[in-house]
Chain A
Amino acid sequence: MESLFGKTLDELRDVTVILGLPSYTAKQIADWLYGKHVFSIDDMTNLSLSARKQLKENYKFGTEACSKVQTSIDGTKKYLFNTSVNKYIETAYIPDSDRHTVCVSTQVGCKMGCLFCMTGKQGFQGNLTAGEILNQLHSIEESSRITNIVYMGMGEPLDNLEPVLKSLEILTSEWGYAMSPRRITVSTIGLLPAMREFLEKSEAHLAVSLHSPFEEERKMLMPVQQVYPLNEVLQEIRSWDFGKQRRVSFEYIMFRGLNDTPEHVKELTKILSGIRCRINLIRFHPIPDTPLDTSSDETISAFKDALNDKGITTTIRASRGEDIYAACGLLSTKKLLKKS
């Protein structure tokens, strides 16, 4: 049975036409789905009983309760959800004083094969629907407290562009969650055509995984560099007006002896010149059998200072939820795949 949750207002209008319901019902349904925190069609109490009956006969509400929650010593939580492809995904909830961030997944596994990433190691098992993306913030305990959403969980968001754009429309529309796009960041490794479409169709912030300014080195870390090289990604970014309302940031995982040298600072400064941006340095969280190592805290700190000195705002992203494998690059449901 089709889900109501995850449908846009236009799609809900189609539902009302199919069921012969008054057209204003679409907005009422949207309000119940996204504006109010309910979980069943029966709870949509301003709809007539017969409208609710018709909806129930043809559609399911469409949210999914989490199957498991783990809590880190630092307060980060990792939620496990089942999906329509009957495979699991993980979601991280990261509290930080009055900031409550949810890191959502967009795919089960990932096709991109980045060398440093646990999700990449599990291969690709399927795309999430817009409803499954939104469910990750709707069906967690902290749902009413969320202030920020980052599309940085399992999968490459722009490899599942349509549902991602749909979820963004629902999040930012008045009839949806009415959230400001300035509180949402979508990450990408730089799938150029999809990135261009995302920039045209959404106002959310962009985070690009950079990881090395040198072509040959980036290729070893991220196979995508073979077809969508960083210089083309940066050229596209240059043609957009970033730095005012909308932000672009670059994610940079620090690998000992590989991408943490003064040459890297120099090259980063060169290739990012003219782009109003921020760099987030991320400590590498080693994954099993990896040939990569973590840069020391001193190196990361010196790297940050050197970039700041060159005029590029650079911060170090605090590692959160490492003890429950919720930290950056560690999300994976590979073990559950084997069991199922």
Chain B
Amino acid sequence: MHVQQHTLTRQSVLYSEKIAEDVFILGFQKNFDFEPGQVVGISVEENGPRRLYSICSGKEEDHIAILYNVVDEGYLTPRLSSLFAGDSIWVTEPRGDFLYDPGPSFWIASGTGIAPFYSMLKSGNFDRKILLHGERHLEKFYFYDEFYDTLGHNYIRCCSGEEDPAVFHGRVTGYLRSLPSLPLHYKYYLCGRAEMVVETRDILIERDIPFNHIISEIYF
């Protein structure tokens, strides 16, 4: 007898939208409640390989969305990108503890690591937040309008591959290094690939941020 595996339920794809080169949003039916910041396991076959994705839609929305980028040699993402409305996917119930903190915080994301913060924003949770978002290309700041409308200048884009006067040229780590100091009483929520999370965490620790103020979600 084993621990019950997280039950998979079959859900219908409602839409699949390519929003930038290799980046897609997939919307599907909602049959559970969740907390912004949680993830779901997704598979395209009932017993097929499953991967985790942060939920990228608001708590009160009538469907669930995820944001993903296609990994060329990957198993799941090329298959996800060929789905159409009406197709089926298998989804686990939500899990995870990378949740909203009402206190003052830095949200730091690279790539699709923006998803949990977008879910928080769409759920009306964004008070006293500064968001740093790192991308290689300008077109990938896909949620710019919504973040800018709510966070204003506290939404800081960092683009390493292209230049724009309104955008910091470099990575989020470069931006953090360029700041003379960082608030010690803030919490720092990091989300994305290991390289960004680990390097950012090192910088924060160098800047005397207590490590119990650093909360990381790694897209391993």
A-side residues, CB < 8 A to B, are 110-113, 115, 120-121, 123-124, 156, 159, 193, 196, 215-216, 219-220, 223-227, 229, 232, 235-236, 239, 289-292
Contacts and interface: CB of A to CB of B under 8 A. Distances in A.
B39 interface: yes
A259 B197 CA distance: 23
B217 A223 contact: yes
A227 B194 contact: no
Interface in B92-114: 95-98
B39 A227 contact: yes
Interface stretch (B136-144, B145-153, B159-167, B208-216): B208-216
B20 interface: no
Interface of B: 1-3, 5, 39, 50, 52, 95-98, 193-195, 197-199, 201-202, 205-206, 210-212, 214-218, 220
Contacts of B202: 121, 289
Contacts of B217: 223, 226-227
B211 A112 contact: no
25 contacts: A113-B194, A113-B197, A113-B198, A113-B216, A113-B218, A113-B220, A120-B194, A123-B193, A123-B195, A123-B198, A124-B195, A159-B220, A193-B50, A220-B211, A220-B215, A226-B216, A226-B217, A227-B52, A227-B97, A236-B2, A239-B1, A239-B2, A239-B3, A291-B205, A292-B211
A120 B193 CA distance: 12
Contacts of A156: 220
Given A227-B96, A289-B206, A236 B3 contact: yes
Nearest to B204: A291
A226 B2 contact: no
A223 B197 contact: yes
Contacts of A227: 39, 52, 95-97, 217
A216 B98 CA distance: 11
B220 to A, nearest CB: 4
B57 to A, nearest CB: 19
Nearest to B52: A227
A215 B212 CA distance: 12
Contacts of B96: 226-227
A111 B97 contact: no
B211 A291 contact: yes
A190 B205 CA distance: 26
Nearest to A290: B205
A115 B211 CA distance: 9
Given A112-B194, A124-B195, A291-B205, A226 B3 contact: no
Contacts of A226: 96-98, 216-217
A229 B194 contact: no
Identify the 3 closest CB pairs spanning chains A and B, nearest first. Answer: A111-B220, A123-B195, A223-B216
Contacts of A291: 205, 210-211
A216 B99 CA distance: 12
B50 A112 contact: no
Nearest to A234: B3
A223 B3 contact: no
Nearest to A112: B220
Nearest to A200: B2
Given A219-B215, A291-B211, A225 B97 contact: yes
Contacts of A113: 194, 197-198, 201, 216, 218, 220
Nearest to B98: A226
A124 B211 CA distance: 22
